[in-house]
């Protein structure tokens, strides 16, 4: 049997049977057809290798070596999968009954102050994007993006530490660090990813992290990943923060975490007071400036 590297063609074929949809990826010496008959997927003798990936909880790989026409059964919906569907259906119905069901709004234009969307006539005012500086549709940004695509391509096909770091990344990290007056910066695909990556790497079981109760969901989820002692203080309440710091005064490292600007309410963290308490208890302050960088305050920092 030749290696996959020498096999000349790859075919993607789908077959539907009952509840199950099977996506069949076939590596073959020559073109061929894969057919579904009843409960069987039938393949011809020219088949070298077949890999079947089932929807739901089932995954199976089957290797075949130049055998006569073969067949194998499509697995029907299992009891566990039926039970899962029932539970999820009940939960979704509960969400709809509670009035908290949310459908996606499909935008059909560039992001901006005004947008167009499916199901709406004319332009809509957009009050819910984080496009504070209007960079999402800025002509210079679009032009620079097109230039970068031609020079650097559309993706790295790798994580950063293997072979996914380009000179463009390092240049941007340097400029971000310079803007914030720091020695270095690390790029993440989103602010949510940044918070998911920070706390788990930084906080150990010997440390404590104290978070404002109204911090963004990404901060909350990121803190859940770490193994340190976790406390919450009342929103912007410095007396309560003081009490929480007293509770963890003997831990190795203490971190106070807050949004700079709280995006849901629009109020601002009392950073001077937080920093005073941090100095008093020898704690470190982490500020999420996702809703402030570049436009809030005198310098946008």
Q: How many CA atoms lie within 13 A of 58 on its CB side?
A: 20
**pLDDT (0 to 100) of residue 297:** 86
- Residue 19: Cβ within 10 Å count: 15
Local structure of residue 209 (DSSP, 8 states): E
Q: Which residues of the chain have pLDDT under 50?
A: 1-72, 74
pTM confidence score = 0.70
- pLDDT of res. 301: 85
The alpha-helical segments, DSSP class H, found in the chain are: 79-97, 139-152, 160-163, 167-180, 191-202, 217-225, 238-247, 271-280
CATH topology of domain 191-288: 3.40.640
Q: The tokens 């997927």 sit on which residue?
A: 41
CA–CA distance, 28 with 177 (Å, rounded to integer): 51
Question: Which tens digit of pLDDT belongs to each residue from 216-253?
Answer: 999 999 999 999 999 999 999 999 999 999 999 999 99
Residue 79 has what pLDDT?
A: 86
Domain boundaries along the sequence of the chain: 114-151, 155-187, 191-288
Per-residue pLDDT, 256: 98
What is the chain's mean pLDDT, rounded? 80
Query: What is the per-residue pLDDT for 15?
Result: 38
| Residues 80-112: tens digit of each pLDDT | 889 999 999 999 999 999 999 999 989 999 999
């Amino acid at each position: 049997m030749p290696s996959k590297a020498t096999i000349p063609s790859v075919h993607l074929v789908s077959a539907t049977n009952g509840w199950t949809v099977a996506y069949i990826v076939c590596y073959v010496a020559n073109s061929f057809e894969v057919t579904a008959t009843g409960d069987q997927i039938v393949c011809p003798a020219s088949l070298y290798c077949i890999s079947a990936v089932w929807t739901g909880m089932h995954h199976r790989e089957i290797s075949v070596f130049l055998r006569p026409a073969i067949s194998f059964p499509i697995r029907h919906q299992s009891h566990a999968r039926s039970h899962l569907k029932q539970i999820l259906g009940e939960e979704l119905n509960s969400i709809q009954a509670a009035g908290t069901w949310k459908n996606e709004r499909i935008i059909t234009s560039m992001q901006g102050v005004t947008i167009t969307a499916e199901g709406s006539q004319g332009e809509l005012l957009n009050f819910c994007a984080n496009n504070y500086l209007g960079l999402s549709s800025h002509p210079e940004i679009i032009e620079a993006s097109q230039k970068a695509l031609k020079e650097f391509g559309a993706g790295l096909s790798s994580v950063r530490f293997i072979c996914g770091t380009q000179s463009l990344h390092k240049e941007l990290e340097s400029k971000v660090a310079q803007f914030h007056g720091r020695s270095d910066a690390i790029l993440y695909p989103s602010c949510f990813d940044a918070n998911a990556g920070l706390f788990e790497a930084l906080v150990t079981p010997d440390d404590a992290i104290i978070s404002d109760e109204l911090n963004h969901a990404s901060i909350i989820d990121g803190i859940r990943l770490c193994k340190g002692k976790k406390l919450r203080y009342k929103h912007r309440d410095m007396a309560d923060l003081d009490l929480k710091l007293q509770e963890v005064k003997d831990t190795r490292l203490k971190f106070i975490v807050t949004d700079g600007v709280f995006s849901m309410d629009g109020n601002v963290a009392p950073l001077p007071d937080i920093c005073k308490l941090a100095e008093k208890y020898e704690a470190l302050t982490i500020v999420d400036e996702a809703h402030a960088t570049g436009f809030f305050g005198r310098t946008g920092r």
